[in-house]
């Protein structure tokens, strides 16, 4: 019996569809399990290399934003590990951004400090960006203080003001997208009180004792690297944000996933676009951050000297 050309084409089309569906299912499944193993293995690989340089178990992790390096001067340094020496670690491509883990003591507390971070806008995935946070947790840190330089979306917060982050808005991809890393935390993570109210209050109290008034507000992270437009500023303000920047939120999400106690401090370095008649610039941000850096160092030093964070 002769089969018509139409039939042959139809049979081939069905066969191709079934084959590609099978391929797709197989590909997805194999990818899922590969990635799951790989990311945790990558974290463990970084931890192992660090453990060859130091056996310190940090209590507190600190992330320093651009221009905020002065905090490191307060550290009784034990070990410095450049990110570039850690195989598998993301390294910042931005001029002026340092890249070191600094291990040591501040006020008797064992700390690990990230002197510089990588940003999503550099082309790294959100998973890459949070790898250093995950590594610090795996080294032992259960508290994290995340700092940044930010643009003000609130006329009460002029450049030179500190803002304690009380909540955030994530306007970039979550770092938790993809297979869950079960060793670190649950698939679905609660996001209530991400920024620990007791720790936040302690920071505010310490600052007040130095005569430094800190505001409180919501921080929004967008991707960058371009500064926001005036229209975006308007939108962020309507969303309820008080400060804007290109970091912190995805790090806080990763830390929350692992159950860390989190505090966030924004150093307001400029007014966001459209809030004044000057456009934000990298130079201005760095200049103001450097100015604010010594006060930030003073606050963190006193916080870690005065309190036993594990008892908060
Ligand atoms: N916009 C975005 N990111 C920033 C700003 C800003 O005004 N200032 C510091 N980081």
Instruction: Encode pLDDT of 98-148 as tens digits.
Output: 789 999 999 889 999 999 899 999 999 999 999 999 999 999 999 999 999
Place of tokens 């870690």: 304
Tokens of 221: 């992270």
Euclidean distance between CA atoms 214 and 267, whole angstroms? 10
Q: Name the closest-CA residue to atom 3, ligand 1.
A: 245
The predicted structure's pLDDT at residue 9: 56
Longest dimension (CA), the chain: 96
Q: Name the residue with the closest Cα to ligand 1, atom 6.
A: 151
pLDDT at 77: 94
Average pLDDT over residues 257-281: 97
Q: How far is the CA of 230 from the centre of ligand 1 (A)?
A: 12
Confidence check: pLDDT of 37 > 90: no
Ligand 1 nearest-atom number relative to CA 245: 3
Could you tell me the distance, in angstroms and rounded to a whole number, from the CA of residue 244 to the centre of ligand 1? 6
Q: Is the pLDDT of residue 31 over 80?
A: no
Candidate from 57-61, 117-121, 229-233, 234-238 with smallest mean pLDDT: 117-121
Tell me which of 38 and 165 has the higher pLDDT.
165
Q: Does residue 33 have a pLDDT over 60?
A: no
**Residue 19 clears pLDDT 50, i.e. is over it:** no
Question: How many residues in the chain?
Answer: 312
Pocket test for ligand 1, best of 280, 283, 286, 291 (most atoms within 8 A of CB): 280
| Structure-model confidence comparison of residues 69 and 17, the more confident one | 69
Q: Where are the strands (E) in the chain, listed by range? A: 60-64, 76-82, 100-106, 109-115, 143-152, 162-170, 214-221, 243-245, 261-271
Pairing relationship of beta strands 243-245 and 162-170 according to DSSP bridges: unpaired
> What is the C-alpha separation between 112 and 241, in angstroms, rounded?
30
Q: Which mutation among 244, 247, 279, 288 tests ligand 1's pocket best, with the greatest number of atoms within 8 A of CB? A: 244
- Beta strands (DSSP E) in 69-161 are 76-82, 100-106, 109-115, 143-152
pLDDT confidence tier of residue 2, bands split at 50, 70 and 90: low
Average pLDDT over residues 275-302: 93
pTM tops 0.85: yes
Average pLDDT over residues 60-85: 90
Q: Nearest 5 degrees, angle CA 72-CA 74-CA 77?
A: 70
Domain range list for the chain: 57-311
Q: Which of 128, 161, 157, 162 is nearest to 145 (CA)?
A: 162
Is 290 in contact with 67 (CB distance < 8 Å)?
A: yes
**CATH architecture label of 57-311:** 3-Layer(aba) Sandwich (3.40)
How many angstroms separate the alpha carbon of residue 14 from the centre of ligand 1?
A: 53
pLDDT at 70: 85
Torsions phi, psi of 146, nearest 5? -105, 125
Q: Which residues line ligand 1 (CB under 6 A)?
A: 149-151, 227-228, 244-246, 269-270, 272, 280, 285
- Summarize the chain as % helix, strand, coil (round to 5): 40, 20, 35
Residue with tokens 């391929």: 23
For the chain, the C-alpha Rg in angstroms (whole number) is: 23
pLDDT given at position 310: 60
């Amino acid at each position: 019996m002769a089969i018509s050309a139409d039939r042959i084409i139809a049979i081939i089309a069905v066969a191709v569809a079934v084959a590609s569906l099978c391929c797709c299912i197989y590909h997805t499944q194999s990818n899922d399990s590969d990635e799951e193993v790989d990311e945790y293995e990558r974290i463990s690989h970084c931890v192992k290399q660090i453990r060859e340089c130091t056996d310190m178990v940090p209590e507190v992790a600190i992330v320093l934003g651009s221009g905020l390096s002065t905090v490191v001067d307060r550290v009784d340094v034990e070990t410095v590990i450049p990110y570039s020496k850690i195989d598998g670690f993301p390294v910042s491509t931005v001029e002026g951004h340092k890249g070191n883990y600094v291990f040591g003591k501040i006020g008797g507390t064992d700390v690990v400090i990230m002197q510089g971070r990588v940003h999503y806008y550099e082309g790294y995935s959100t998973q890459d960006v949070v790898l250093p946070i995950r590594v610090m947790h795996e080294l032992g840190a259960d508290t994290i203080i995340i700092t940044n330089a930010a643009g003000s979306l609130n006329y009460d917060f002029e450049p030179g003001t500190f803002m304690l982050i009380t909540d955030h808005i994530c306007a970039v991809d979550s770092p938790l997208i993809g297979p869950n890393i079960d060793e670190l935390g649950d698939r679905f993570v609660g996001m209530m009180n991400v920024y620990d109210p007791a720790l936040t209050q302690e920071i505010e109290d310490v600052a007040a004792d130095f005569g430094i008034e800190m505001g409180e507000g919501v921080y929004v992270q967008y991707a960058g690297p371009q500064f926001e437009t005036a229209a975006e500023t308007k939108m962020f303000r309507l969303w309820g944000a008080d400060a804007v920047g290109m970091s912190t939120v995805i790090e806080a999400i990763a830390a929350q996933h692992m159950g860390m106690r989190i505090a966030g401090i924004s150093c307001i370095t400029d007014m966001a676009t459209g809030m004044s008649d000057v456009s934000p610039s990298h130079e201005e941000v760095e200049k103001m951050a450097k100015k604010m850096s010594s006060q930030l160092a003073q606050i963190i030093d006193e916080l870690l000297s005065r309190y036993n964070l594990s008892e908060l």
